[in-house]
Structure 1
Amino acid sequence: MRPGTTAVRSVEVRGVTRTYRVHVPAGPPTTGRLPLVIAYHGHTERSSTFERYTGLSGLPAVVVYPDALLGTDGRTAWQGAPYSPRRVDDLAFTRAILASVRAEACVDPTRTYAIGRSNGGSLVAMLACTMPWEFTAFATVDAAVYEQSVAGCRGGPAISLIDFHGTADRVIRYGGGRRFGERYLSVSSWLQRWVGRARCMPAPVTLPVNPVVQRLAWLQCAAGREITHYRIDGGAHRWPGSAGNPAGGGNSDTISATRLIWMFFSTHPVAGSS
């Protein structure tokens, strides 16, 4: 692949052809291995749209944008939601992507990261539960974490996670709720699961980022891990800092999720279990 380009790739997973986009950063060829980021779009979205409005392809990393299959509502959806495609295995899809990209591109297996928005955030939660050793750190934005996506997620290694959510999100409410007949967790509830698993300090260090955003960081976790949450007062169901997000509004654009995620990932360069 040529630097600065995005290519479409396909892989066979349990008899189904799955597609994903791969972006190689611009610039002269590097002699070292590049970080690898896998970025999962939200419910109803496409990988091409997600690539455009997040700006993740501007990162100094190989960025993969997988495509979800059509769910029971006829719109794209990942495993772990009440509207997910029947008998889909997006965990196997992820493993196939990792194997394929690592064979094709010069990527660093100790710097492999997962990002997910909304329904994609739920899949990232599943990855953190079931295959944490494959990833160095995780990021979620407006995560729709349904009970089924983290059912049975007990024990396991500590992880590093950065999360963003707006208090005025009317799609996936900050305090939790129900959609499609199934309950999704509140932000505090699902973050506390990771805090407990990582054996962090029970109370976060809270710092104001600006008048409408607070950063909550749970520190002194096992194996140097960290759980960080950005609470956006008045923030909507939106990728923070994106002018082209399909569902915009609120105070979300006072910060850049892409920039903050990359800063967080850059401080967590070692993969593996603790």
Structure 2
Amino acid sequence: MQFQPIADRLVRLAACACWLFLWPLQSVHADVLEVNGQKRTFTLVKPNANKPAPLVMVLHGNTQQGADLMERSSWPELARREGFAVVFPDGLNGSWADGRYPAERAGTVPPTGTDDRAFLLALTDHLMLRGIADPRRVYLAGVSNGGAMALTLACSDPQRFTAVASVIMLMTQGLLDTCTDLQPNPPLPMLFMNGTEDPLVSFTGGQGRAGRAVRGAWSFEETLGFWRSFNGCQDGDARVVQLPNKDTRDASTVTRVESNCPNGTDVLAYRVNGGGHRTPGRSPDARFPKLVDKVLGPQNHDIDGPEEIWAFFQRFSLVR
């Protein structure tokens, strides 16, 4: 047994070495962008092709950094396969200054005066000016606190993005109050992905049951209803599909909920039945998955969150 840690380390090194050979068609850059006199960091994974590509901006959860999502999600592999760029910005103090009221937040908060809206919009401009991002295909996805930041930008700057996905986060009154300028703008395709047993963001609304839970969340149904109304969709679910239970050991299943919306204004949702505060995926989303299972609930393995989000995103392109 004393040799097991060495063996494990060799396996990890070999895996890392193999991973390096998976990047012939894209490159990874850690970079800094100064916004309003403050240096902000991000990591970019982009195709080596010398032409603008679709861009997916992925926002991490509370206490995380962009590297966590890059290392523990399929986004880099998916970008390589599909030929799009993906950028992982870093929030300050492991968090985002989203539009929720302070009483609705939980966990760490950014330094006073942080303007993440300015940072993220400047970053999209920066990548478009560099010829990396196609202005017609700029997509935004966020997880947990990052999902709240994605909803903030969907409300405040819907014209800047082609489609938005929010994972394990729901609307709140604070987020609603950032939506005051929605009406003059065109509808924005939206995707939601939420677990019914999420201890931090209550699926049925209100406050989650965990100690550091989000307060004042709308329910899953109320959140869908708001975006369906804005996008001009009909009330109620258009189609509900139970997806195959590919992993019977993950204590969860997935239901796909579709909306009846005008062409190009879809509102799509994935209800993870029995799922916790986790992004569905093919591989573990945490360093210690069994411990996280106990704290945040199970991670579903029937679908891969990034795969489903990208399948939704790539259906849409802006006319500029």
Q: Is TM (by shorter chain) over 0.5? A: yes
1:100 is aligned to 2:100: no
* Corresponding residue pairs, total: 263
**What is the letter of the counterpart of residue 260 of structure 1?**
E
- Where does the alignment leave 5 or more consecutive residues of structure 1 unmatched? none
The superposition leaves residues 224-258 of structure 1 with CA deviations (integer Å, 9 ceiling, x where unpaired) of 21000000110111110142312445362111111
Alignment match of 1:163 (pick from 192, 200, 207): 192
> Structure 1 residue 206: deviation in Å?
1.1
Q: What TM-score does the superposition give when structure 2 sets the normalisation length?
A: 0.76
Q: Give the structure with higher Rg (CA).
A: 2
Paired with 1:79 and 1:232, the residues of 2 have a C-alpha distance of 25
Q: TM-score, normalised by structure 1?
A: 0.88
- Residue 207 of structure 1 corresponds to which residue in structure 2? 241
Residue in structure 1 matched with residue 65 of structure 2 by the alignment: 46
2:281 matched to which residue of 1? 241
Letter in 1 for 2:86: V
- After TM superposition, the structure 1 = structure 2 runs for residues 86-165 of structure 1, keeping only pairs within 5 Å, are 86-154=112-180, 155=183, 156-165=185-194
The structural deviation recorded for 1:112 is: 0.6
Question: Paired residue for 2:86?
Answer: 63
Contiguous gaps of at least 5 residues in structure 2: 1-23, 103-107, 246-252, 287-291
In structure 1, how many angstroms separate the alpha carbons of the residues matched to 2:319 and 2:200? 33
Between stretches 113-122 and 201-210, larger displacement belongs to 201-210
Root-mean-square deviation (CA, aligned residues, Å) is: 2.2
1 CA distance for matches of 2:234 and 2:243? 21
User: Are 2:96 and 2:116, in contact at CA under 8 Å, matched by a contact in 1?
Assistant: no
Whole-Å separation in 1 of the counterparts to 2:92 and 2:126: 19
Q: Distance in 2 between matches of 1:144 and 1:44?
A: 19
CA distance 1:115–1:109, change in 2 (3 Å):
same
Distance 2:166 2:173 in 1: 16
Write the deviation string for residues 142-176 of structure 1: whole angstroms up to 9, x where unpaired: 01544222314142421101111111111212112
Which secondary structure state, in structure 2, belongs to the residue aligned with residue 93 of structure 1? helix
What is aligned with 1:263? 311
Identity %: 27
* 1:220 pairs with 2:235: no
Distance in structure 2 (CA, Å) of the matches to 1:227 and 1:101: 27
CA contact (8 A) 2:156 2:178 kept: no
